[in-house]
Amino acid sequence: MLDILKHRTYRHLFFAQVVALLGTGLATVALSIVAFNLAADEAGKVLGTAMAIKMVAYVLIAPLASALAENVPRRVMLVSLDLVRAAIALALPFVTEIWEVYLLIAVLQSASAAFTPIFQSTIPDTLPNEADYTKALSLSRLAYDMENLVSPALAALLLVFTSWQALFSGTVIGFIASALLVTSVVIPSGIKSEKRSGVYARARRGFDLFTATPRLRGVIALNLVVSLAGAMVIVNTVVLVQGQFGLTEQHTAMAFAAFGGGSMLAALALPAMLQRWQDRQVMLTGAVILISGLIVALPVNSLAWLLPVWAWLGIGFSAAQTPIGRLLTRSVHGQDRPAVFAAQFSLSHAGWLVAYPLAGWLGAFASIQITLLILAGLAVVALVSAIKLWPANDPIELLHLHDDLTEDHPHTASSGREHAHPYIIDSLHPKWP
């Protein structure tokens, strides 16, 4: 897997992602301290509102930003957004009012919502070979999991020697380092669409592609399975470990580490698995693992039981979502990649926007067991929907979204059928398009 780091452009982009993630992780810890300093016992409310602002920004901003940035060179856009994020992180230690936190978080997360889909859509252009791109997706998953493990430990180490304000300095350094790494390489510009359209139409383009493509409709449902199971882990781990088991923060960290470890294990295995099995098989299996993990967690009454269940959920979490980048790249033309990556970013976080409060409110007002049952039931409905929406044998061609094709258009001339859409289905055409 690590051999793709020999590719200079990808290597720089990967490490840009890593340092930016570390900076974001430090900011998360520091923001918790800021919230406590400003709101004391109501810090949870402040952080909850900040997370809601983050999710709303991710859902609304990503498609619009992708459309607005269509005529801006990718490198310029990515570097500019990194610098905006660095500037916001630099300002966060100086806030004195809660509303200032909300405002800065809104700007920071809007910049991240614009940055991430553009960054993700550059990788398949940088690594046109499918096997290399698959390895890159697994490395990206590993980077996210490592951030969850390393950032809190790094923050704790820094706090031993310095104040919490220094954590934001680490965030600034991370974003600036990311910008420098992006600047140091030539990023493929991608394919530009010959047909011009308005900003709203371009922002809607990715969603149109999702609704027109059977397997991408299935991805929408799988996104919900991932968010329902993931929200249970993220929101209620502390409730289980410290509330029900009466253990410490260190044991809570162990539970999160088990989840991250399972996800990393799956990410390491996926490149080889995806050479043998279709993406649909792997992702649906991941969803089944997530649902079974929620069910197996019902009688959990000790940390010794929780750790393997959480590791099992981590395996499903990675298997269900890591191959998505391959599907997006296979399902659209090059000029539509930014739009469809932005749509996936928005749609997946819409699932989290539903799942986070659902897991939290059910856990607080009902019980963990009822929460697990309801989340598992909703996940089963979503899985069944994914199976029906994403047929095992897709047709090679789908109806084209454009209405301006002629008989000599390459999309129709190659097929002999009018209004054919050359979305290649991997089960029938396994070559990288």
430 Cβ partners below 8 Å, 6+ apart?
none
Nearest CA to 68 among 114, 122, 121, 117?
114
Residue 344 lies in a domain: yes
pLDDT digits (tens, 9 = 90+) for 171-191: 899 999 999 999 998 887 655
Identify whether the C-beta of residue 319 lies closer than 8 Å to the C-beta of residue 282.
yes
Which residues pair with residue 420 across a beta bridge?
399
Both 372 and 235 in one domain: the answer is: yes
Among the candidates 157, 185, 213, a domain finishes at 185
Identify whether the C-beta of residue 187 lies closer than 8 Å to the C-beta of residue 126.
yes
Residue 387 lies in a domain: yes
Could you give phi then psi for residue 421, rounded to 5 degrees?
-115, 120
CA–CA gap between residue 260 and residue 268 (Å, rounded): 12
Both 231 and 372 in one domain: the answer is: yes
CA–CA gap between residue 323 and residue 272 (Å, rounded): 12
User: Which pLDDT score, from 0 to 100, does residue 415 have?
Assistant: 34
Both 13 and 145 in one domain: the answer is: yes
Residue 25 lies in a domain: yes
C-alpha neighbours within 13 Å on the C-beta side of residue 130: 16
Joined tokens for residue 87:
């500037």
Count other Cβ atoms within 10 Å, centred on residue 274: 23
Identify whether the C-beta of residue 54 lies closer than 8 Å to the C-beta of residue 349.
no
Both 104 and 216 in one domain: the answer is: no
Question: What average pLDDT does the segment 334-356 reach?
Answer: 83
Both 308 and 342 in one domain: the answer is: yes
* Helix-then-strand count for the chain, H and E: 15, 2
Radius of gyration of the chain (CA): 22
Number of residues that make up the chain: 433
Can you give the CATH number for the domain in which 168 is found?
A: 1.20.1250.20
Model confidence band, residue 429 (pLDDT cutoffs 50, 70, 90): very low
User: Which pLDDT score, from 0 to 100, does residue 241 have?
Assistant: 87
Between 362 and 196, name the one with better pLDDT.
362
Both 78 and 156 in one domain: the answer is: yes
Both 238 and 97 in one domain: the answer is: no
Both 331 and 273 in one domain: the answer is: yes
Nearest CA to 247 among 298, 305, 314?
305
CA–CA gap between residue 331 and residue 363 (Å, rounded): 38
Identify whether the C-beta of residue 385 lies closer than 8 Å to the C-beta of residue 201.
no
pLDDT at 163 over 90: no
What secondary structure letter does DSSP report for 298?
T
Both 252 and 155 in one domain: the answer is: no
Which residues pair with residue 399 across a beta bridge?
420
pLDDT at 433 over 60: no
- 279 by Cβ neighbours in 10 Å (0-12 / 13-18 / 19+) ranks as buried
Residue 269 lies in a domain: yes
40 alpha carbon, distance to own chain's centre: 31
Both 53 and 81 in one domain: the answer is: yes
Name the range with the highest mean pLDDT among 5-19, 232-246, 289-303.
289-303
Question: What average pLDDT does the segment 261-268 reach?
Answer: 88
Structural domains of the chain, count? 2
Name the range with the highest mean pLDDT among 86-90, 96-100, 378-382.
378-382
CA–CA gap between residue 364 and residue 366 (Å, rounded): 6
User: Which pLDDT score, from 0 to 100, does residue 292 have?
Assistant: 97
Both 173 and 112 in one domain: the answer is: yes
CA–CA gap between residue 18 and residue 141 (Å, rounded): 11
* Average of per-residue pLDDT values in the chain: 79
Residue 371 lies in a domain: yes
194 Cβ partners below 8 Å, 6+ apart?
none
Host domain of residue 113: 1-185
Identify whether the C-beta of residue 326 lies closer than 8 Å to the C-beta of residue 278.
no
Residue 195 lies in a domain: no
Model confidence band, residue 86 (pLDDT cutoffs 50, 70, 90): very high
**Locate tokens 């499918």: which residue?**
130
